[in-house]
Amino acid sequence: MRRMLVCCSLAVLCGGLAFAGAPAPLKVVMLSGSWEYKSAESLPVFKEFLETNYSARVTLLQAAKRDDLPGLEALEDCDVMLLFTRRLQLQGDQLERYTKYCQSGHPIVGVRTASHAVQTWLALDREVLGGNYHGHYGGGPEQTVSAVPAAKDHPVLTGVGQFTSAYSLYKTSPLAADTTLLMTSTTPKAKAPEPAAWVREHKGARIFYTSLGGPEDFKNPPFRRLLVNALFWTARRPVTPKPAE
């Protein structure tokens, strides 16, 4: 009887340890406010995709207007921020919360217009993302997006093959010297490939940016996989499928 009680106690203890050791869901805060590229339509669908398929819990903050993005206090308790806004005119407390997060060594995944996410603090692109946005080629032939051979084994590119994008090619070169280029894009209009996705570290935090992110991109499995990989990688977490219920 005593032996049975000891075995039961050990089983309960081991079960408790296994449960306690299970990783908490990745806490993601998404900032949406890129009307030109319909982030208000793309990000809710991507949020559902992420929470349905991966161990993640997402808080989606939508800009009410260009000078108002409520709920930014959520940045104080997240693992990674996904940024997809365009030329917001944040001021006061909201601007302070946003810049504090970006400047204090926290993970960021930037999507397309994140390079000029907040007009009242455009320094993000060069100082944090390591980019160099200076306009884009006109619309027309689609982009062909390919991995840089030297980066083909990078974790962010796991399961991501070559794909196309229907949106205009951003002019982003040259990048900061400490970036690692992952993917480039080409179109017949460009004389040379342009950086399309890269990573770097800023104050000890991992940063990812891609110049892609139009509505059709979010429907493209390779692009979604790229973002999923980036979210977990910047947070220094393995990509974790949602546990079976």
* Average pLDDT, consecutive stretches of 10 residues, N- to C-terminus, the chain (245 residues): 44 44 89 97 98 98 97 98 98 98 98 98 98 88 95 97 96 97 94 96 98 97 98 98 86
Structure tokens at 155: 């974790």
pLDDT per residue as tens digits for the range 20-35: 567 899 999 999 999 9
Strand intervals (E) in the chain: 26-33, 56-62, 80-85, 108-111, 143-147, 163-165, 180-186, 194-202, 205-210
The predicted pLDDT at position 21 comes to 62
What pLDDT is attached to residue 139?
74
- What is the identity of the amino acid at 180? T
Q: Which alpha helices (H) appear in the chain, and where do they start and end?
A: 2-21, 39-53, 92-103, 124, 221-234
Give the model's pLDDT for residue 14: 45
pTM (2 decimals)? 0.91
Report the C-alpha gap between 198 and 159 in whole angstroms.
16
Q: Measure the CA–CA gap between 189 and 39, rounded to whole angstroms.
A: 26
Count CB atoms within 10 A of the CB of residue 174: 9
C-alpha distance from residue 108 to each of 8, 26, 104, 227 (Å): 46, 13, 11, 11
Domains delineated in the chain? 25-234 (3.40.50.880)
Q: Does residue 233 contact residue 26 with C-beta atoms inside 8 Å? A: no
Which residue, among 117, 128, 95, 113, has the nearest Cα to 207 in the 3D structure? Answer: 128
Pairing of strands 80-85, 26-33: parallel
Closest CA to 72 of 90, 54, 49: 90
**How far from chain centre, in Å, is Cα 18?**
30
What is the four-CA torsion angle of 141, 85, 236, 160, rounded to 10 degrees? Answer: -20
